[in-house]
């Protein structure tokens, strides 16, 4: 059964700093998603990663996928307050279910 683990669960970081959120998963999957959720809001799609070595970037966020290590990372460069949100990774399991990580709550302070 596919299990998805994110860390850290909480991340408080200063503006301008860099940091990485990790998403580990237990079994093979053919796609990995990253989503963002603002407090009290719905989820917004950030990236879809399909293959080993895939890297996608949007603004200050960069996501990568290492299928051999069963690891995806979401790297934040020079954080700004607007990036404060909860970030989820999710993977499709063998039975077409979509399994979400527990989320990383990011707070960026001045």
Task: Indicate the residue among 55 and 78 with the shorter CB distance to another protein.
Answer: 55
Which residues of the chain form contacts with another protein (CB under 8 A)?
30-31, 33, 35, 41-45, 48, 50, 88, 90, 92, 95-103
Q: CB–CB of 32/26 below 8 Å?
A: no
- Least distance CB 78 / another protein (angstroms): 26
The C-alpha atoms of residue 29 and residue 7 are separated, in whole angstroms, by: 19
DSSP conformation class of 60? T
Task: Indicate the residue among 41 and 81 with the shorter CB distance to another protein.
Answer: 41
The C-alpha atoms of residue 97 and residue 82 are separated, in whole angstroms, by: 31
Task: Indicate the residue among 13 and 43 with the shorter CB distance to another protein.
Answer: 43
């Amino acid at each position: 059964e596919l299990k998805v683990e994110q860390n850290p669960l909480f991340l408080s970081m200063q503006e301008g700093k860099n940091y990485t959120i990790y998403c580990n998963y237990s079994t093979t999957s053919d796609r990995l998603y990253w989503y963002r959720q603002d407090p009290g809001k719905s989820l917004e799609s950030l990236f879809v990663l399909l293959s080993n070595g895939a890297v996608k970037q949007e603004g200050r966020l960069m996501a990568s996928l290492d299928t051999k290590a069963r690891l995806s990372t979401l790297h934040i460069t020079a954080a700004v307050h607007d990036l404060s949100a909860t970030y989820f990774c999710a993977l499709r399991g063998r039975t077409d279910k979509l399994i979400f990580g527990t989320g990383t709550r990011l707070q960026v302070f001045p």
